[in-house]
Chains A and B, each alone.
Chain A
């Protein structure tokens, strides 16, 4: 697919042509093209794993493309690294904060290119003057000498953004810049972006937030599974079309109508607080019910799950399991009492990637599977076989290393691991992060099935379609508090977004 650029368009500041990048076993980018014109804001959209970050890494010279060209100001270039990209006028504003906590704001902004005098001596006066000039433009409440570790996350993001203003940029790539910004800070950011626009800088803007995309961008390019899906003018499209391009089908906002009888209350939480992470949290989960926790990153959802699983100590509040109050002080306690947590970071927290499927699956109970002093191989394999069939895990055999499985199958191994512990309450944090679209649906159906079998399931998700599709009730969180609990009849996209943005505080149930 090629883009339609009419004859009057100015010279693009940046062009990517048919970029192909493969990693062992994955075709991460498959012929992706992108054209950034001067003075435009160009949204780059796609689901997690669609290839956006790989594309950015290719552009930044961290990866070299296998095929295709990067063209800056009509000159084909080879990016040798981030500093090279910056020298060529391509600046990145990273999503994950790329800052050194112990250094000052000024040192962070000019990281890698501190102004210096002879003998490599840092020119502190110049550094401070330059930094303060930039900070003034951004209207922030800290100065050049502040230690970055002492700033709030939002202010750290502003430091990151300040980096873009240090050079004469041709193109600035923003990667989810608003993920941690407040509304007031967003306004400042959008002003900065429109200033850059007026100076003829091309902006690539990566974000999941539709309302932002439609507010500030001129064109939208979409990636799906590493493939370029096309570019549209923002004015000529709508959210539904863009979503369809992203996921390759119409967004299925239908809820699972197959209601089944709910059982007893399995888990009840009353007035649970943990420092500044979350406060006065109340909810209950019945057997046979899926409760979705929806909110922005940092709203406190994962922290609640970690508290229920004994990884954090609550400062106040109580937890009831099957009506009896319990104190959970360690994951060991939680497992004993039938609470299982499928963590957010599958590879980091959920699996031992270098171990085989069977050993990962039986990890929490290997102590109970002993025959004398030795681990009972047969019992382990029996458990693995049982859950492989039950969850339809596709692997050549139990000896396969988990690191070699696809994301979806890895997630099933983690779920199988906890199911084999016969939990009462199953907490699943971001169940489909980084999992391809097809497997997503499978995981969703699996979660529904598990509820139908009588498990109490909590699903934490940052993806609205996911909670809408999977959950019987949705708990909306904002800034460590539960704003509202929706039944699947009440919930609409609008009131859900309003609740997680903290907009309708008066509606707190």
Chain B
């Protein structure tokens, strides 16, 4: 089965080839169009790229589990915003006034706990009602965003803690704090998916739910745990980002769910569940960030970036379909 193996290899490794193509393209194009005189593949630029990948990337790891499970979570952007507000606002609460800098871990824990709880709510509804995760999280996306606006109206919530900013801007072994978080989360989730019973069950459930039920896997609680993981990671992403920026707008995190899903799908995870890999999701995250950064580098504006990414997403899925059809024997739809 040479052809099968080749297509499988292409389907699995395509994202890295795509990244190499992007690097070459933007390096060459940058020579002609770039307004800056720095090379695209400048080391600082690449480190910055990793750092900027972190907010989307951390959430994408959670989205991979949820999508391998055969679900989806549209509420991550809203969870991200709520947790950012909790993080910044809680540092100003009077009950924590005496804590000094100890307020930082407290605020972090509060924000992460909020993410965990919001994720658990999603999971619980999916589990207990049996309503499709798409619908449930579409609802919670709207609902959670509503909570954001109820909290502070249209006003941004701001609080700068310089100790926190220093921590967030630190570089350890050359990598920014945010990058470290992304890497640690990636490794941890990779470990979860490939080495633990929970991770393997996630594949089984997405692959053949009935088989999983027949084998006695408790599908509902399993899915709820995954929604808690992605809620936690959305919170973590907010914690990492807003520790540095110190100000959150009520619209922050909007469309994050779509960027995250795009990255995960580019990485080869099936929308129907059952297949997907953390390493490829990491590739998908990098590929998107490269594209955004690269297009900006050669002077394209944001709307062009969105158009190009949209086209590429469809092209990738079309390619994937072509590589995965079973030839002429397939039943037409």
Q: Report which A residues bind B (CB closer than 8 A).
A: 60, 62, 81-84, 86, 92, 94, 96-103, 107-108, 111-114, 116, 119-122, 274-277, 306, 310-313, 315, 330
Contacts and interface: CB of A to CB of B under 8 A. Distances in A.
A214 B55 CA distance: 66
Contacts of B198: 120
Among B207, B210, B331, which residue has the most Cβ atoms of chain A within 10 A? Answer: B207
B200 A98 contact: no
Given A111-B211, A113-B216, A122-B195, A313 B274 contact: no
Interface string B170-213: 00000000000000000000000001111011011001101111
By size class, the interface of chain B is 20 to 34
Given A102-B207, A102-B275, A315 B328 contact: yes
A111 B211 CA distance: 8
Contacts of A84: 216
Nearest to A149: B207
B197 A116 contact: yes
A100 B200 CA distance: 11
A98 B211 contact: yes
Contacts of B329: 274-277, 312
B328 A274 contact: yes
Given A101-B207, A103-B200, A120-B198, A306 B214 contact: no
A286 B322 CA distance: 41
Contacts of A311: 331-332
A312 B332 contact: yes
A275 B208 CA distance: 27
Contacts of B275: 102
Nearest to A111: B215
Contact of B197 (A92, A120, A306): A120
Contacts of B210: 96, 98
17 contacts: A62-B213, A82-B216, A83-B215, A83-B216, A99-B211, A100-B207, A100-B211, A101-B208, A111-B204, A112-B201, A114-B201, A120-B196, A274-B328, A306-B331, A310-B332, A312-B331, A313-B328
B313 to A, nearest CB: 23
Nearest to B205: A100
B103 interface: no
Contacts of B207: 100-103
Contact of A112 (B217, B327, B330, B332): B217
A102 B213 contact: no
A contacts with B: majority SS:
loop
A346 B60 CA distance: 41
B212 A100 contact: yes
Contacts of B203: 100, 102-103
B208 A82 contact: no
A243 B281 CA distance: 57
Interface in B312-333: 327-332
Nearest to B208: A100
Given A60-B214, A99-B208, A119-B196, 18 more contacts: A82-B213, A98-B214, A100-B203, A100-B212, A101-B274, A102-B203, A102-B207, A108-B204, A111-B212, A112-B201, A114-B201, A120-B196, A120-B198, A122-B195, A122-B200, A274-B329, A312-B329, A330-B332
Given A100-B274, A277-B329, A312-B329, A107 B215 contact: no
A102 B203 CA distance: 8
A213 to B, nearest CB: 25
Contact of A92 (B195, B204, B214, B274): B214
Nearest to A114: B197
Given A122-B197, A275-B329, A81 B208 contact: no
A277 B326 CA distance: 12
Contacts of B331: 306, 311-312
Contacts of B200: 103, 107, 114, 122
A65 to B, nearest CB: 19
B196 A122 contact: yes
Among A60, A113, A114, A311, which residue has the most Cβ atoms of chain B within 10 A? Answer: A114
A177 to B, nearest CB: 15
B214 A94 contact: yes
Contacts of B274: 100-102
Rank and list the top 9 A-B pairs by shortest CB-CB distance, nearest first. A83-B216, A112-B215, A100-B207, A111-B215, A275-B329, A98-B211, A112-B216, A100-B204, A120-B196
A82 B212 contact: no
Nearest to A85: B216
Contacts of A107: 200, 204
A210 B198 CA distance: 43
A101 to B, nearest CB: 6
Contacts of B217: 83, 111-112
B134 to A, nearest CB: 20
B215 A82 contact: yes
Contacts of A99: 208, 211
A252 B180 CA distance: 76
Interface string B282-315: 0000000000000000000000000000000000
